[in-house]
Amino acid sequence: MRSKIPPKKSYGDEVRESVHGCPGRGGTFTVYALGCRVNQEEMECLRSQLLAAGYKERPFGDPVDLTIINTCTVTAAGDRDGRKLLRKARRFSPQGRIVATGCTAQRDPGALDDLQVADLILGNREKGNLALYRGLLADPSPEGETTVPATGILVDDDPSPQCFLTHAPGFSTARTRATLKIQDGCNGHCTYCIIPAVRGPSISRPWKEILSEAGGLIARGAREIVLTGINTGSYGWEARPGAETDLASLAERLAGLAGLERIRLASVEPGYVTPRLLDLMTRMRSLCPHLHVPLQSGDDEILKRMGRPYRTGEFADLVRRIRAVTPRITLGTDIIVGFPGETEDHFRRTLCFVKEQDFSYLHVFSYSPRPGTPAERLEGTVADGEKTRRSRLLRDLDSHLRRGHMALRKGSQDRILVESSHHGAGDGLTADYLRVVLNEGAAGSGEMMDVVIGEPVDDHHVRGIIPHGM
């Protein structure tokens, strides 16, 4: 473990040894995660570990002894949000200890240190070391010295995790849908993306470890498990493409766990949507008919500039194969607008291509230059106002697609997993990712329930009707 830049007070080897042996003293804490589902899952694991160690959780905004913020650097806005949260955390807890970790901390720890807010800045490799957090709150020794200096930076040049964070048995939040991180890092070469630099190359979690943790989540009430990672589809492929431990094989193994109703996949890159994975969606009742496959642009020239490993023709062929195998699938995608060199013609081709594919929903992002990426050096900057206009047009299309997708389901009967229930009202999720609202007659949280799909409530919810006689 080494610092990228010298800390204000050095973390020598002798200090690290004392930290790892420190029992900590308990106290209060709060965690906050910005950005992706992986960041959220990491903080949920760390939260459970702190609870198991005897700390008491408080809401963000309450004064606490320890605040941990998991930052995001995918966009400049993510960096800004991280800085704002750190300043807020100091206002909320002027006497508490604050830790900044995550992808902004990995990329530019000096910038966070310059805020003079965080007591400790940890890289992605270090964030799972519970002893560092416990040591930060240790009581002073009889000589008046603490085991951890007041301020420091621990960011290894290698961001890859030494081990995956786990949910502490008996201390995870009881949820009907649980997220499980199966993979970290990415071997892709997209010109706009900072993630490989701050997360490292693709690394997969051992499947036996995943099954063990999934069993623990099921025992605590999870009926659906969402498999996630930085590049989820690449699970197992660092061993060899199509290895026995790929995503499809993992899903098959998980399907054998008693009590697990559903397995849902987070975003899967086009190259990892294999025939075997699609075949499983038709044969395996528990594998949800829902795929999120990032497109990013519907123009071949822009895809080439982005470093994406496919062109629109290949993507359209994939969509046809997906729908041929699973006609009722919910299919979402990501689109980036305003990439350097994107003209109005390029954007119009993207708009037309997206309409032709008839996605169920879109996630729309404005291009944000990231330091050190190849795209940062490209010419043809698109004005912010133009990015906003293009985003608005695609978000209008997203609204239309969502409403159309919900309209196709009106009158059909489906099963939902009830996620919340209060005085007979509640909401739940279908296997193909429709959010259903119930005004009355809801079963308890975690129960499976038959409903008839009704009218849309808004762009993200439909009304659920309890069939007569139930």
Domain edge (last residue) among 364, 387, 408: 408
The answer on pLDDT for 150 being more than 60 is: no
The answer on pLDDT for 119 being more than 50 is: yes
In a domain, 114, yes or no: yes
Are residues 149 and 295 both part of a single domain? no
Are residues 81 and 187 both part of a single domain? no
CATH number of the domain that residue 140 is part of: 3.40.50.2300
- Among 37-46, 195-204, 421-430, where is mean pLDDT lowest? 421-430
pLDDT in tens, 301-312: 999 999 999 999
Q: How confident is the model at residue 151 (pLDDT cuts 50, 70, 90)?
A: low
The answer on pLDDT for 256 being more than 80 is: yes
pLDDT at position 330 is: 97
CATH number of the domain that residue 369 is part of: 3.80.30.20
Handedness of CA 230, 236, 237, 239 (dihedral sign): positive
Read off the pLDDT of each residue in 143-161 and give the average, rounded to a whole number: 70
Q: How confident is the model at residue 148 (pLDDT cuts 50, 70, 90)?
A: low
Are residues 131 and 196 both part of a single domain? no
Q: Where in the sequence is the domain holding 454, given as residue range(s)?
A: 410-465
| Cα separation, 206 vs 220, whole angstroms | 22
pLDDT at position 239 is: 67
Are residues 140 and 182 both part of a single domain? no
Handedness of CA 366, 372, 378, 381 (dihedral sign): positive
SS (H, E, C) 120-180: EEECCCCCCCHHHHHHHCCCCCCCCCCCCCCCEEECCCCCCCCCCCCCCCCCCCCCCEEEE
Q: How confident is the model at residue 25 (pLDDT cuts 50, 70, 90)?
A: low
Are residues 261 and 315 both part of a single domain? yes
**Position of tokens 């400790």?**
120
Q: How confident is the model at residue 19 (pLDDT cuts 50, 70, 90)?
A: very low
Nearest by Cα to 50 from 117, 120, 118, 129: 129
Range among 150-164, 173-187, 447-461 with highest mean pLDDT value? 447-461
Q: At what angle do helices 344-357 and 384-409 cross, to 10 degrees?
A: 10
The answer on pLDDT for 6 being more than 60 is: no
Q: Residue 41: exposed, middle, or buried by beta-carbon count in 10 A (0-12, 13-18, 19+)? A: buried
Read off the pLDDT of each residue in 438-446 and give the average, rounded to a whole number: 78
Are residues 330 and 372 both part of a single domain? yes
The answer on pLDDT for 15 being more than 70 is: no
Q: What percent of the chain has pLDDT over 70?
A: 88
Read off the pLDDT of each residue in 340-345 and give the average, rounded to a whole number: 98
Are residues 238 and 326 both part of a single domain? yes
In a domain, 166, yes or no: no
Are residues 92 and 112 both part of a single domain? yes
In a domain, 167, yes or no: no
Are residues 113 and 262 both part of a single domain? no
Mean pLDDT, the chain, as a whole number? 89
Are residues 438 and 300 both part of a single domain? no
Q: How confident is the model at residue 100 (pLDDT cuts 50, 70, 90)?
A: very high
Compare 375 and 244 and report the one with higher pLDDT.
375
Are residues 40 and 188 both part of a single domain? no
How many other C-beta atoms are found inside a 10 Å radius of the C-beta of residue 8?
A: 12
CATH number of the domain that residue 429 is part of: 2.40.50.140
pLDDT at position 440 is: 76
The answer on pLDDT for 59 being more than 60 is: yes
Question: How many CA atoms, within 13 angstroms, populate the side-chain half-sphere of residue 272?
Answer: 27
In a domain, 388, yes or no: yes
Domain edge (last residue) among 370, 387, 408: 408
pLDDT at position 10 is: 31
In a domain, 447, yes or no: yes
Range among 149-153, 157-161, 389-393 with highest mean pLDDT value? 389-393
In a domain, 172, yes or no: no
Q: How confident is the model at residue 23 (pLDDT cuts 50, 70, 90)?
A: very low
H/E stretch holding 336? strand 330-337
| Cα separation, 202 vs 230, whole angstroms | 8
Q: How confident is the model at residue 20 (pLDDT cuts 50, 70, 90)?
A: very low
Are residues 395 and 445 both part of a single domain? no
Read off the pLDDT of each residue in 387-401 and give the average, rounded to a whole number: 98
pLDDT in tens, 122-143: 999 999 888 888 878 774 444 4
* Residue 74: DSSP 8-state: S
Q: How confident is the model at residue 14 (pLDDT cuts 50, 70, 90)?
A: very low
Read off the pLDDT of each residue in 350-377 and give the average, rounded to a whole number: 98
pLDDT at position 469 is: 53
In a domain, 162, yes or no: no
In a domain, 5, yes or no: no
| Overall number of domains in the chain | 3
pLDDT in tens, 167-209: 888 766 657 899 999 999 999 999 999 999 999 999 999 999 9
